[in-house]
Structure 1
Amino acid sequence: MPTLAPIKVSEETDALVSHTAHFLTKSKKSVVEDAVREYIDNHRDEINGAVRDALAQLDGSRGAAVAMLADIDESELDDLGGVPKA
């Protein structure tokens, strides 16, 4: 059996999920799982594009990774003192 990981949603979203589950005679878990899978399927090209963009920013260096995580370019990171070479 897979490990369950709780997620937090707003009360409004929880109510929507509860009503949907009730009227479709499904569990709330099933409604959420179906919705997430459908969302990902419908946005797969956008998600893959974002992954490709992120990978294109990385050159394997620690500086590139830090710059990407900080949402700055490497020249800005250098202006801030850079990242020590390890």
Structure 2
Amino acid sequence: MAATSAPIKVDVGTDQLISHAAHFLGKAKKDVVDAAVREYIEAHRNEINDGIRVALNQLDGSPKSAVSLLAGLSPDQLDEYGGMPAES
């Protein structure tokens, strides 16, 4: 199966850094970005996992908890904005 790619947008300064690194490393820009992202994620894996745990702890299986998490609102704030329709 061929790998698919998706475009990403970076600011001009970052693009220049990627271009210079790719040139002097003799690599394609996409390979530099791929390696950088993988290294960054590995270096921050504990923080990412902590965020996942916090998010999962907020979910109780109800639509209200899912909407609350996705909207970035506490369940009380969600209720203040009209709450969720009653489940049937």
TM over 0.5: yes
Tell which has more relative contact order, 1 or 2 (C-alpha 8 A, sep 6+).
1
For 2:5 and 2:81, the matched residues in 1 are separated by 41
Aligned residues: 86
Gaps of 5+ in 1: none
1:4 maps to which residue?
A: 5
For 2:14 and 2:75, the matched residues in 1 are separated by 39
Moved >3 Å (runs of 4+): none
Gaps of 5+ in 2: none
1:30 match: secondary structure:
helix
RMSD, aligned CA: 0.9
Provide the identity percentage.
56
> Which has the larger displacement, 13-22 or 74-83?
74-83
Establish whether residue 73 from structure 1 lines up as the match of residue 74 from structure 2.
yes
1:16-75 Cα shifts (integer Å, max 9, x gaps)? 000000011111011000000000000000000000000100111111111111211111
2:27 match: secondary structure:
coil
For 2:80 and 2:10, the matched residues in 1 are separated by 40
1:80, distance to aligned residue in structure 2 (A): 1.7
TM-score (norm: length of structure 1): 0.94
TM-score (norm: length of structure 2): 0.92
